[in-house]
Chains A and B, each alone.
Chain A
Amino acid sequence: MSIRIAQTKSARPFPEAAREAIQDTQLRHNVRRATNTIRTKRANMVAEMPDWQQLRESGRAIKRHVLRYLDLYLEQFEQGVTRAGGHVHWAQDADEARQIIRDLIAQHNAHEVIKVKTMTSDEIELNSYLQANGITPYETDLADLIIQLGEDYPSHIVVPALHKNRAQIEQIFSKRMPLKEMGIDHLTSDPNALADTARRYLRERFLRVKVAISGANYAIAETGSLVVVESEGNGRMCLTLPDVLISLVGIEKIIPSFQDLEVFLQMLARSATGERMSPYTSVWTGVNPDDGPKEFHVVLLDNGRANVLADDQGRQALHCIRCAACLNACPVYSHTGGHAYGSVYPGPIGAILTPQLLELNGARSLPYASSLCGACYEACPVMINIPEVLIHLRTKVVQSEKDSLLGGLSIENLAMKSALHLFEHPELLESAYCLARIGQGPLVENGVLPYVPGMTQWTRTRDLVAVPPQSFREWWRTRDSRNESTRDAA
């Protein structure tokens, strides 16, 4: 088994990628504008719910419960799907999921598939794999279509093309769509015109292509049903019109019962897009004789999720309902955008999910891609304590580095070790202060050291506070002697 989250293992470290991203003023403008808009809308939608905190509590309790009994719920879900005439396939990793899906498509001699937005398919890089196997995937979500035609990568969980503005989208469409054949002489950058162009481009494909691929927002164990929440109707097209439907679902998407939708359907749209409810929600169970696909397959994907489950503290990353409220709330994300994270799961949730899926064999810089301000925790509808998990993962990164030979001899580790030694021996610490006071002299500016030779890693982004003329302990001693003299006088 080999776990891969798209190309994350070979991605550059976050600080390096972020430094480049923040040079792109157009990107920063687009990202800031979009995240500000959603944040405001979301705040309004949350404020009108007097029972929002109670919903959050329930959401967290349900997710926690599911994970404690995940094996039982997965089997219950499988039974439900099978009972309703569907088929369940189990995939340990990305490679296995891709092969299962390719084989299913090949059984129907299909060379094209229509797809409705699924992050999980980006995680396993399904599109490039299908293409290499002679199958053309058509993304049907507007943002995903923009990404696919622009040969780009998603930068946000809910609005994957938010880093592009209308002019850039118009250029992509003009270059990559057969506008003349579609009867469009001149395309403008008006969002209405762009959406209408996407409708015309996809409509004939919806009616023609016989195999569809979807993800799922929820998989209901009680009934074996899947739930897809979307806006445009492209999801309904893919779920209803083709003969064969293949749904790729991460094993953490299970909820116990149909009733639990009363919690999650109230939270998802308000958190994700700042709407009371998304325009469309589809719920379906297996195969139905007079309605929808004749053949239905679910591919249940592990790909590292069991690793996350094994960590008591980190496990809560699997509560995620992919609303992206934490991305929109994050001061780091709003400056760098999603690409800098080097993962299909960017932002705060990606920073705790991606490294854990990979068991820290990759994405090791992501737990540090945060100021730990806690805005993500506040925003999360299922109360994932992201800052807590970030610190937990930083500890794990440091620990594993210390355990390696090179890491044990690294400057950071040696510096930390000597600091520990100093802090454990007061007399040594005081001598060190004396030395530092002499040494820092020429470097101090307004009480801080903006530059220290040999410590530029630290001082590049932070000031080092100068050692004060008198330490607390020194002051305390003078106070003691003063007190003694007053006592003596009395």
Chain B
Amino acid sequence: MNSTSPNRSSKEAVLRRVKQAIDAPQSALWGREDRRQQELQQIPREFRTVGALSSAERVALFRSRLDHYGAASHLATGAEEVRRIVQELLRSQKKETVLVAQDVQEDWIPRDIHLVRDSDLSYEQLDHLDGIITGCTVAIALTGTVILSAREDGRRALTLVPDYELCIVREDQIVELVPEAIQRLSSLKTTPLTFFSGPSATVDIEMIRVKGVHGPRTLDIVIAMSE
């Protein structure tokens, strides 16, 4: 495929044209890699990289952003309260068959609900579920964003095909700013990542925000506060 000769010659042609365009003659190539690294270090990053809010303020900001997106958020202190709120949410919305992603803490999950674990379910099987419960890798207060990584929170299809998502975010997972979240992801950067900010939405018709197109149409977030 990528080893066939026409493609290799195209690669050479593209790179040759690029080099010509940026005027990198053979003589100037010496030390170019060093110069690249040096210049990369000198790129200005004067924007905010460390947040200024307290933990309580971060939680409050995160919740107000979620509210703005039309996602409900619920505070819970301790595993028992998390379990109770999860149970209430599932009951009140009649979510009977619910899948739980692998890394979700056991003691967060109510015992009296028909729970499914992900055992290579097909997309059709996922499509017939009532919903999915996941944890979270990092959350960003300023933008109301939850980030899931496939390594920690299960494969991406789980939070995509079912129509309902319940996501449990630990208080210490919430950072204030985008750069702080990117920093926390540095050991996970090659695992598939999904950032979501509220439920699926579109503004394609007259710029009116319509909630819920292809991704889960309903999103509940439970914030597990540190005791």
Q: Chain A interface (Cβ within 8 Å of chain B)?
A: 1, 30, 33-34, 37-38, 50-51, 54-55, 57-58, 61-62, 65, 67-72, 74-75, 82, 84, 87-92, 96, 100, 104, 140-143, 146, 159, 161-162, 165-166, 169, 191-192, 194-195, 198-199, 202-203, 206-207, 222-223, 225, 231-234, 236-237, 239-241, 251, 256-259, 261-263, 265-266, 273, 275-286, 288, 290-292, 297, 300, 302, 306-307, 309-310
Closest 5 CB pairs of A and B: A233-B215, A233-B214, A306-B17, A310-B21, A309-B21
Q: Using Cβ atoms and an 8 Å threshold, which residues of chain B touch A203? A: 214
- Which residues 207-227 of B sit at the A interface, judged by CB distance below 8 A? 207-208, 210, 212-216
Q: Which residue of A lies closest to B24 (CB)?
A: A71
- If A92-B14, A279-B215 are given as contacts, then 15 extra A-B residue pairs at C-beta distance below 8 Å, sorted by A number, are A30-B206, A54-B47, A58-B45, A69-B22, A74-B18, A89-B1, A90-B10, A146-B204, A231-B200, A236-B156, A251-B14, A277-B178, A282-B193, A284-B193, A291-B192
A194 and B215 contact, CB distance less than 8 A: no
CA distance A241 to B156 in the complex (A): 9
B142 and A84 contact, CB distance less than 8 A: no
B39 and A282 contact, CB distance less than 8 A: no
Total A-B residue contacts, Cβ distance less than 8 Å: 258
B32 and A72 contact, CB distance less than 8 A: yes
Q: In the complex, what's the smallest C-beta–C-beta distance from A136 to chain B, in angstroms?
A: 19
**Contacts A71-B15, A225-B190 known; A236 to B22 CB distance under 8 Å?**
no
B32 and A89 contact, CB distance less than 8 A: no
Q: Using Cβ atoms and an 8 Å threshold, which residues of chain A touch B204? A: 141-143, 146, 159, 161
- Which residues 190-204 of B sit at the A interface, judged by CB distance below 8 A? 190-204
Is B36 part of the contact surface with A, judged by Cβ < 8 Å?
Answer: yes
B201 and A232 contact, CB distance less than 8 A: yes
Q: Using Cβ atoms and an 8 Å threshold, which residues of chain B touch A241? A: 123, 157, 160-161
CA distance A237 to B45 in the complex (A): 34
B124 and A207 contact, CB distance less than 8 A: yes
**Contacts A92-B10, A282-B193, A302-B17 known; A292 to B156 CB distance under 8 Å?**
yes
Can you list 20 A-B contacts with CB-CB less than 8 angstroms, sorted by A residue number? A33-B207, A34-B207, A54-B47, A55-B47, A74-B15, A87-B2, A146-B204, A198-B213, A207-B124, A239-B156, A240-B156, A256-B40, A257-B40, A262-B178, A279-B69, A279-B197, A281-B195, A285-B192, A288-B192, A291-B192
CA distance A275 to B69 in the complex (A): 10
Most chain B beta-carbon neighbours within 10 Å: one of A1, A233, A241, A278: A233
Q: Chain B interface (Cβ within 8 Å of chain A)?
A: 1-2, 7, 10-11, 13-15, 17-22, 24, 32-33, 36, 39-40, 43-49, 65, 69, 123-124, 127, 140, 142-145, 150, 155-157, 160-161, 178-179, 182-183, 185-186, 189-208, 210, 212-216
CA distance A96 to B201 in the complex (A): 35
CA distance A100 to B208 in the complex (A): 38
Q: Using Cβ atoms and an 8 Å threshold, which residues of chain B touch A194? A: 205, 210
B15 and A75 contact, CB distance less than 8 A: yes
CA distance A143 to B155 in the complex (A): 28
Q: In the complex, what's the smallest C-beta–C-beta distance from A96 to chain B, in angstroms?
A: 6
CA distance A9 to B10 in the complex (A): 24
A231 and B202 contact, CB distance less than 8 A: yes
Q: Using Cβ atoms and an 8 Å threshold, which residues of chain B touch A300? A: 14
B214 and A306 contact, CB distance less than 8 A: no
CA distance A140 to B212 in the complex (A): 14
Q: Using Cβ atoms and an 8 Å threshold, which residues of chain B touch A33? A: 206-207
CA distance A184 to B143 in the complex (A): 37
Q: In the complex, what's the smallest C-beta–C-beta distance from A49 to chain B, in angstroms?
A: 9
Q: In the complex, what's the smallest C-beta–C-beta distance from A53 to chain B, in angstroms?
A: 9
Partner of B189, one of A89, A225, A256, A265: A225
A62 and B43 contact, CB distance less than 8 A: yes
**Contacts A65-B40, A276-B143 known; A58 to B156 CB distance under 8 Å?**
no
Most chain B beta-carbon neighbours within 10 Å: one of A50, A265, A286, A292: A265
**Contacts A166-B205, A241-B123 known; A65 to B43 CB distance under 8 Å?**
yes
CA distance A457 to B131 in the complex (A): 65
**Contacts A69-B32, A84-B190, A225-B190 known; A279 to B201 CB distance under 8 Å?**
yes
CA distance A381 to B49 in the complex (A): 18
A89 and B43 contact, CB distance less than 8 A: no
**Contacts A72-B32, A169-B205, A276-B142 known; A54 to B46 CB distance under 8 Å?**
yes
